[in-house]
Amino acid sequence: MPTRLLLLADTHVPKRARRLPDAVWRQVDRADVVLHAGDWVDVGTLDLLEDRAARLVGVHGNNDGAELRARLPEVARVELEGVRIATVHETGSAAGRETRMDAAFPRSGSGSGSGSGGGADVLVFGHSHIPWDTTSPAGLRLLNPGSPTDRRRQPVCTLMTAVADDGVLTEVELLPVARD
C-alpha cells in the first residue's frame, strides 16, 4: 500500500518563524509519515507534530537543546513499504557527501560506519537548508528538503514529499512553502 511521506528539516521555530506555515500543516495532514531531520529548536513544535502527524520520525539537530536531545535520537531508522529510510541532521560538506554517506549508511547493512546497523536505501538529512536530491555510487538516495521557514541562500522556503511503495521511493517532489 503506498505510503505518503513528508520530509522536513530545519524548522527553527521560533528563531526563524513564529510557527510552522499553514502549507506545512496541510502537508502534515496529507502524509502517512512525517520525517523531520532536526533543528526543531522549539520543543512545542515537536509536541504539535507528534499530536497532529499520523506518524512522526525525527532526529535532533545541532541547534536543538537538551530537552529535544533527550527525546530524539541522532539517527532514526524506519522501513516503510520495503524502503529502508535513515534520518540524520548533519552529513558534512557537500563535497564528497555521497561517498561518505555510502560508508556511514551502507546499503548492505554491513560496515563500521556511524550509521551502520540495518542499511538504508534513502537518507533524509538537513542542516544546510539547501535542497538536495542525489544518488550515491552505491545507490543510496540522499534527500534534503531544505527549510520551510528559513530559505538562507535559496530563492524560497521548501519541503519535500514522496511515496514509498513496494520497495521503491517514488514521486519525490520539492515544494515551495509560502510564509504566512
Q: How big is the CA angle at 88 (ends 25 and 124), to the nearest 5 degrees? A: 60
- Is 50 exceeded by the pLDDT of residue 110? no
Please state, in angstroms and rounded to a whole number, the distance separating the CA atoms of residues 7 and 146.
9
The pLDDT of residue 113 is 46
Residue type (1 letter), 131: P
pLDDT tens profile 145-161: 999 999 988 999 999 99
Mean pLDDT of 93-106: 94
The pLDDT of residue 18 is 87
pLDDT tens profile 73-85: 999 999 999 999 9
Which structural domain range is residue 24 located in? 3-177
Q: Is the pTM of this model over 0.85?
A: yes
- Is 70 exceeded by the pLDDT of residue 134? yes
**Structure-derived torsion over alpha carbons of residues 35, 37, 43, 44, reported in degrees to the nearest 10:** -50
- Paired with 85 in beta bridges are 78, 122
Residue 43, φ and ψ in degrees, nearest 5: -65, -35
- Is 90 exceeded by the pLDDT of residue 16? no
Comparing C-alpha atoms, which of 33, 6, 32 is closest to residue 20?
6
The pLDDT of residue 116 is 45
- Is 50 exceeded by the pLDDT of residue 173? yes
Mean pLDDT of 114-134: 85
Please state, in angstroms and rounded to a whole number, the distance separating the CA atoms of residues 67 and 15.
17
Mean pLDDT of 26-30: 98
- How many domains is the chain built from? 1
Confidence of residue 111 (pLDDT cuts 50, 70, 90): very low
Q: Report strand pairing: 141-144 vs 132-135.
A: antiparallel
Q: What CATH number has the domain bearing residue 83?
A: 3.60.21.10
Summary mean pLDDT of the chain: 93
